[in-house]
């Protein structure tokens, strides 16, 4: 049972098959192969959840083979409660993305589908790796398909956005490479779990913290290294934005719990005020920035940064509630941001404009769509009974426990989030029909309906009954916090 290997290589092989078989003339063939590959990729991850043992914090579904003996590098995979949910989330989102690009993408369909499938496999690999170099290889290789997706199928300013995205992310991860090699030299092992036990001096811990922080803060992204994200989101095709927001941002946050907190716990405690400050700046300041955006995709991009600020805030409160809240927020944001970008995609496909000013009164012509969009907008602003509420509420509670003013500042997101999301919703959806283009809009097609319906169910289910998600991660979080509480000096 090589479930994790399957989760990685089923999409990659399907992607290669799409490239080989699908040609530009026969796009339908490429689409079907890609869809079958994506669904198969999702199905092989389901047993991960079904057979997951929620009573242990140890790695599960472990596979380990010697890979490059010269450097003692292993092909070592395994998941715990911190990583398993994201493999499922990623495989699920991949299906949606392939489906969402079904008729929208017309040029070079095979390459488009293949890029997403290959990237999906690489992302699963990143979450499942227990070896530093293996992790790094997946983490970096993922940039290549994303670079191509933004650059080939993106908007008018796509080249700038693609290169900016690539170089920004590369800068962080190259420093991480040096840190990984340093840890190998200190421990004679590339196994991440060995590094968790490695004693390190404070000065070393701080340097390592900086190197890892560069890599993951760019990916999350945290203020002030977030500027690549709005550009990348605006220019990327809908599918690209969905994967970026729903999955790759989570990789950065995942890096915090897999690398930074357990490997350099003392530096993490020492620098926690710094990270918390950055997180709060993201929550408040970026929230305000989102308020004034004229472009819908940009607005959602800034709202993503603001929401991810909650995640990093939750991690650095060092409490069960905060960490679990952050993880729940990550999953919820995966659903909600995917849905928000798909909604913008629905409008963009019809009007070829993302500017809020070009819309108005859409509810009159697209009532079904408006209903879905309402639900997702509410979830994005953290309304109770939607998934967005659960994580935010847990983090705010944890923040208030730590310090009232911290909680107070964090809680402003509930106001700001509601303000920018609902104000955008009002301007786009309500009012009189703004122009002839809006009057000519057609409501959701069957494909779009089901796409959004699936996400709506996910958002509501998670909001009403988050227990399954929390159960999966609870033991791992407790273990992580117990580990982080111990000094390594």
Partner 1 sequence: MNFHADVATALPEIILLAAACFILVVDLFIDESRRHVSYWLTQLTLVVTACAVLGGVREEPVTAFHGMIIDDNMADLLKLVAIVAVALMLVYGRQYFVARGLFKAETFVLTLFALLGMMVMIGSASFLTLYLGLELQSLSLYAMVAMWRDRPQPAEAAMKYFVLGALASGMLLYGMSMIYGATGSLMLDRVAEASLTVGPQARLLLVFGLVFVVSGIGFKLGVAPYHMWVPDVYEGAPTPITLLIGTAPKLAAFAFALRILPGSLKGVELDWQSMLVVLSVLSMVLGNVIAIAQTNIKRMLAYSTIANMGYMLMGFLTAERGGYSAAMFYAISYVLTSVASFGVVLLLSRRGFECDTLDDFKGLNQRSPWWAFIMLVVMFSLAGLPPTIGFIAKFSVIEAAVNQGFIWLAVVSVVTSLVGAFYYLRVVKLMYFDAPVGEGPIEARGDARVLLSVNGLLLLLLGVFPQPLVGLCAIALTQSHF
**Footprint on this chain of partner 1 (rule: CB under 8 A):** 67-71, 108, 111, 133, 136-138, 140-141, 143-144, 147-148, 151-152, 158-159, 162-163, 166-167, 170-171, 174-175, 177-178, 181-182, 184-185
Minimum distance from residue 24 beta carbon to partner 1 (Å):
9
**Assigned token pair, 395:** 């983090």
**Residues in contact with 3: Cβ distance below 8 Å, sequence separation at least 6, in sequence order:** 44, 45, 47, 48, 61
Minimum distance from residue 66 beta carbon to partner 1 (Å):
9
Minimum distance from residue 221 beta carbon to partner 1 (Å):
17
Q: Which is nearer to partner 1, 142 or 243 (CB)?
A: 142
* Whether 131 contacts 182, CB under 8 Å: no
* Whether 116 contacts 239, CB under 8 Å: yes
In DSSP notation, 159-218 reads HHHHHHHHHHHHHHHHHHHHHHHHHHHHHS--BHHHHHT----HHHHHHHHHHHHHHHHH
In Å, how far are 147, 313, 395 from 324, measured between CA atoms? 32, 12, 8
Minimum distance from residue 219 beta carbon to partner 1 (Å):
15
Q: Which is nearer to partner 1, 138 or 359 (CB)?
A: 138
Q: Which is nearer to partner 1, 42 or 112 (CB)?
A: 112
Query: Would you put residue 52 in left (φ > 0), alpha (ψ -120 to 50) or beta?
Result: beta
Q: What whole-number distance in Å separates Cα of residue 170 and Cα of residue 214?
A: 10
Minimum distance from residue 240 beta carbon to partner 1 (Å):
14
Q: Which is nearer to partner 1, 115 or 451 (CB)?
A: 115
Question: Strand 73-79 to strand 60-68: parallel, antiparallel, or no bridges (unpaired)?
Answer: antiparallel
Q: Which is nearer to partner 1, 190 or 223 (CB)?
A: 190
Q: Which is nearer to partner 1, 135 or 359 (CB)?
A: 135
Q: Which is nearer to partner 1, 144 or 461 (CB)?
A: 144
Minimum distance from residue 2 beta carbon to partner 1 (Å):
17
Q: What whole-number distance in Å separates Cα of residue 246 and Cα of residue 483?
A: 28
Minimum distance from residue 385 beta carbon to partner 1 (Å):
43
């Amino acid at each position: 049972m090589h479930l994790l290997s399957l989760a990685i290589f089923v999409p990659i092989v399907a992607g290669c098959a799409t490239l080989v078989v699908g040609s530009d003339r026969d796009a339908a063939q490429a689409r079907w192969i890609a869809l079958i590959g994506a669904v198969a990729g999702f199905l092989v991850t389901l047993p991960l959840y079904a057979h997951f043992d929620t009573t242990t914090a140890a790695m599960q579904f472990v596979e380990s083979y010697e890979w490059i003996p010269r450097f003692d590098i292993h092909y070592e995979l395994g998941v715990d409660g911190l990583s398993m949910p994201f493999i499922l989330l990623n495989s699920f989102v991949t299906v949606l993305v392939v489906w969402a690009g079904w008729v929208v993408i017309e040029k070079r369909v095979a390459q488009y589908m293949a890029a997403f499938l290959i990237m999906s496999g690489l992302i699963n690999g990143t979450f499942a790796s227990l070896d530093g170099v293996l992790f790094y290889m997946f983490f970096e290789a993922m940039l290549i398909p994303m670079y191509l997706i933004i650059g080939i199928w993106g908007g008018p300013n796509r080249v700038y956005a693609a290169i900016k995205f690539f170089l920004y992310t590369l800068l962080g991860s190259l420093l991480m490479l040096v840190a990984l090699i340093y840890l190998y030299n200190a421990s004679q092992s590339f196994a991440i779990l060995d590094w968790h036990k490695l004693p390190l001096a404070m000065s070393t811990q701080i340097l390592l913290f900086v190197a890892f922080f560069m890599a993951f803060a760019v990916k999350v992204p945290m203020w002030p290294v977030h500027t690549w994200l709005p550009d990348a989101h605006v220019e990327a095709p809908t599918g690209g934005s969905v994967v970026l927001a729903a999955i790759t941002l989570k990789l950065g946050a995942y890096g915090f719990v897999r690398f930074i907190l357990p490997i350099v716990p003392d530096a993490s405690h020492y620098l926690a005020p710094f990270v918390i400050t950055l997180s709060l700046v993201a929550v408040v300041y970026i929230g305000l920035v989102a308020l004034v955006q004229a472009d819908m995709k940009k607005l959602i991009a800034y709202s993503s940064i603001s929401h991810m600020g909650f995640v990093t805030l939750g991690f650095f409160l060092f409490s069960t509630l905060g960490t679990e809240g952050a993880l729940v927020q990550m999953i919820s944001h995966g659903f909600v941001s995917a849905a928000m970008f798909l909604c913008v995609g629905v409008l963009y496909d019809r009007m070829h404009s993302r500017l809020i000013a070009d819309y108005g009164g859409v509810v009159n012509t697209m009532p079904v769509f408006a209903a879905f969009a309402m639900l997702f907008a509410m979830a994005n602003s953290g309304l109770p009974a939607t998934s967005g509420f659960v994580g935010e509420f847990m983090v705010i509670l944890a923040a208030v426990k730590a310090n009232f003013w911290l909680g107070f500042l964090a809680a402003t997101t509930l106001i700001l989030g509601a303000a920018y999301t609902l104000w955008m919703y009002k301007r786009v959806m309500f009012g009189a029909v703004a122009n002839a283009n809006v009057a000519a809009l057609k409501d959701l097609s069957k494909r779009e309906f089901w796409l959004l319906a699936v996400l709506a169910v996910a958002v509501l289910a998670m909001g009403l009954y988050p227990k399954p998600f929390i159960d999966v991660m609870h033991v791992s979080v407790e273990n992580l916090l117990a580990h982080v509480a111990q000094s390594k000096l």
